[in-house]
Structure 1
Amino acid sequence: MTTTSERISEPLTRQMSKRVSQSVFDGSRLRVMLLVDVYDGAQPEFLAAYEKLCSQVASVPGHVSDQLCQSIENPSQWLITSEWESAPPFLDWVNSEEHVQMVRPLHSCVRSTRSLRFHIVRETGIVTSPDDVTRRLQTAPRIGDGKIRHALTFTVKRGSEETVAKLLANYAAPKAQVDENTRLCRTSLFMHGNRVVRAIEVEGDLLAALRHVSRQPEVRAVEEAINPYLEEERDFNDPEATRIFFALAAVPAVHHVTSDQECPEAERLALYYPARPGRGMQLARLLAEQDELAADDPNSPVCGSTIFQRDEVVVRLIDVRGGLEADPVLALGLPGSPQAAELATLVDGATIGADGSALKGEDLVRFLTLARMDLVTDRVSAPQA
């Protein structure tokens, strides 16, 4: 549990590189909004479920406050807002299995939900102390490229990896255009041992894109084909089971940065950094900070980097000039031995077969080999005419 004194000692919001279009690590406060459409007549049950959830959330480290609002136009529409000290504690909580189980009673009362998450950039009102504004507001708006980045991960039974890879590589791509506002831009699928990671880039509405993909007959056929090989069973004919599967499989993007380099021939690669228990967010932060520095280095082979993190799963998706082996230190995002030493304290080397020497500067090539994920498929949609 984070104490008041520990929260006060947290660093002020920090200035990030202008090349960072997405990050949860700037220290600014977070506003979360959950739009809810409640079944007719289920408002009392919904309110009771919210009251129980609210009392549980109040004890979560990093939680500041929340509000429950009901529409003045449609009593079936509700809005739950919450404020958090910063994004990392919220993500630690919302991505936990504890949260998935905590919100289950709500789903029997609601027709649909939509979650929106925002860093607070500016605000007006009474300031209770001079420090409130300087340390909790995002210092400047970010300029993005209009894409939402997201990943899903799951594991398959040992010994089935080759079969699963063939199934996942040989499906017909779904139509890129979801609706007039949403479009699938790129899907990259990797494996590391028995772990599968699917990273997607979307313009528009992420949930609409995920629903669109999951409903395509060719995709459903492949998903059904790999079901017998999954370590955790799933049933896409059960809406509640499907919702829980996607909730637990989600690996959000926590940082994205691009360099000023023109990289038309860059190769898309992925590296898997399994974290030690409870160190996933810290590991993701280390990699994000190093990639920020690399974006300003004209000698870096990395043209762009996205860090995905959930619990102990950390994946670094990178676009690289000349391949990883051209400069393994820079490709790994480790400009020096201090960063490599810190990485060694955060990575669970045994998970990828690495001993201590593979995390030291003199053996980074070996660590690179162990962390590198196998590319199954990488599909880029043609730009819309």
Structure 2
Amino acid sequence: MTVSPARPTAPAVSPAGQAAPYGVSTTAFDGSRVRVLLMVDIHDGAQQEFLAAYEHMCQRVASVPGHLGDQLCQSLENPTQWLITSEWESAPPFLAWVNSEEHLDTVQPFQSCVRDTRSLRYTVLRETAGAAPPAPGLGGLQSAPRPGDNVVRHALTFTVKPGSEAKVAEILSGYESPEPRVDDTTRLLRTSLFLHGNRVVRAVEVRGDLQAALRHVARQPQVRAVEQAVDPYLEQERDLTDPLSARQFFTRAAMPAVHHVTSGRETDPQVRRCALFCPARPGAGEALARLLAAQDAAAVPGGDGPVAACTVFHREDLVVRLVDVAGEPEDAPGAVLGLSDAAARAEAERLLDAAALGVDGSLTDERTLPRLLAQARMRPLTDRRSPAS
């Protein structure tokens, strides 16, 4: 028999006056199939060019692991509006593909014929009774609806030139906050920036449409000024005034939230936010993210532990844990690291590149955890909440 975790005794209250949801609200690791909808608006007269670009994409994506198929649909009312749907056996292969250099190259032919796009991503929860079951190994259905509070979490990561860290930290710590309201349904809630070595991670929380919020922020004069000030220090050049260069940067910098779990206590005044830099051994990034997500899903929702909420971000062989902790992180290193369990520590020793963090002790020894926590903690640059969020 499965027993649901006890609800926190004093749950947070949402703006609507209801108790904030708790549990796992985001996960890429439940094995459910993923349906992606790409809404496309093409330039007048660009139909044949668009169709040729679509055929090129189909040939490339057909061999991508995890891809099950796609459809191209044209609007009944407006011939310049199109919809591309694709289905994937699970979220990890799709996220790996959509944030890859190969994907950037594959969609390049669309750039000259497409006016605007919007991507929506869903896990499959139910199917009609007449639908044939998927073939074995091709993904399943989401087991149950996940709780949610209309908050989307996303991160960007990039590196700066060695030796420029202090200057970049100064720039990113002191900028003026952008206007949080995007429109009647979308609002920027929180922005947290961290630095580890020469790597910057910017995590954002948005209520409503993430893409609309990112476009809104990019247009703000104070944000443009900060980005321009940082540009000379980036290891990889970019030009955010050029649409193609901007698209390439945001694809290469994208670090999706692959898991989020909350106890409903984030608004507790004792809760503080920290970020952990978790480099994986080559090829072990997804496995490490999956391990940490499983530990959080088991430990956080009960509401009585030190971790009030945790988001796991993953890209290639890099995992970042954004942890909201009740109290001092040093008082509970195992819980903050997501490695309280001995079996999890043994598995993490195989997956985590502890040497890259300067930690040489065995993770199976609990005495190693405080040192690992100290080495993995990222330097906080700024953590800003919008008013009334």
| TM more than 0.5 | yes
Correspondence for 1:290 = 295
Correspondence for 1:8 = none
- Rounded Cα–Cα distance in structure 2 between residues aligned with 1:175 and 1:264: 25
CA deviation profile, 1:119-170 (whole Å, cap 9, x unmatched): 1111115344598799611121112011110111110011110110001011
Kindly indicate whether residue 366 of structure 2 is the aligned counterpart of residue 349 of structure 1.
no
Structure with the higher fraction of residues in helix conformation: 1
The 10-residue stretch of structure 1 (298-307 or 346-355) with the greater mean CA deviation from structure 2: 346-355
- Rounded Cα–Cα distance in structure 1 between residues aligned with 2:358 and 2:50: 48
Correspondence for 1:5 = none
Match of 1:377 among 376, 379, 382: 382
2:264·2:309 contact (CA, 8 Å) conserved in 1?
no
Percentage of pairs with the same residue: 58
- Rounded Cα–Cα distance in structure 1 between residues aligned with 2:219 and 2:355: 38
Kindly indicate whether residue 114 of structure 2 is the aligned counterpart of residue 110 of structure 1.
yes
Aligned-pair CA distance for 1:49: 1.0
Structure 2 matches for 1:268-279, cutoff 5 A?
A: 268-279=273-284
- Rounded Cα–Cα distance in structure 2 between residues aligned with 1:81 and 1:129: 19
Give, as a single letter, the amino acid of the residue that structure 1 aligns with 2:78.
Answer: N
2:90·2:139 contact (CA, 8 Å) conserved in 1?
no
- Rounded Cα–Cα distance in structure 2 between residues aligned with 1:232 and 1:15: 49
Structure 2 matches for 1:109-258, cutoff 5 A?
A: 109-129=113-133, 136-258=140-262
2:182·2:216 contact (CA, 8 Å) conserved in 1?
yes
- Rounded Cα–Cα distance in structure 2 between residues aligned with 1:135 and 1:42: 36
Correspondence for 1:41 = 45
Aligned-pair CA distance for 1:44: 0.6
The 1:15/1:121 distance shift into structure 2, 3 A limit, reads farther
RMSD: 2.2
- Rounded Cα–Cα distance in structure 2 between residues aligned with 1:34 and 1:248: 19
Aligned-pair CA distance for 1:20: 0.5
2:346·2:363 contact (CA, 8 Å) conserved in 1?
no
The 1:85/1:218 distance shift into structure 2, 3 A limit, reads same
Correspondence for 1:52 = 56
Aligned-pair CA distance for 1:355: 2.6
Correspondence for 1:88 = 92
Correspondence for 1:321 = 326
Give TM-score, length-normalised by structure 1. Answer: 0.91
Unaligned runs of 5+ in 2: 6-21
- Rounded Cα–Cα distance in structure 1 between residues aligned with 2:277 and 2:264: 25
Match of 2:370 among 365, 371, 380: 365
The 1:206/1:125 distance shift into structure 2, 3 A limit, reads same
SS at match of 1:103: helix
- Rounded Cα–Cα distance in structure 2 between residues aligned with 1:321 and 1:315: 19
SS at match of 2:201: strand
Give TM-score, length-normalised by structure 2. Answer: 0.90
Give, as a single letter, the amino acid of the residue that structure 2 aligns with 1:306.
Answer: T
Unaligned runs of 5+ in 1: 1-13
Aligned-pair CA distance for 1:264: 2.7
2:361·2:368 contact (CA, 8 Å) conserved in 1?
no
Aligned-pair CA distance for 1:354: 2.5
1:30·1:118 contact (CA, 8 Å) conserved in 2?
yes
Give, as a single letter, the amino acid of the residue that structure 1 aligns with 2:334.
Answer: V
Aligned-pair CA distance for 1:361: 2.8
The 1:68/1:382 distance shift into structure 2, 3 A limit, reads same
Match of 1:312 among 311, 314, 317: 317
2:354·2:360 contact (CA, 8 Å) conserved in 1?
yes
Correspondence for 2:8 = none
Kindly indicate whether residue 26 of structure 2 is the aligned counterpart of residue 22 of structure 1.
yes
- Rounded Cα–Cα distance in structure 2 between residues aligned with 1:302 and 1:91: 27
2:89·2:138 contact (CA, 8 Å) conserved in 1?
no
SS at match of 1:32: strand
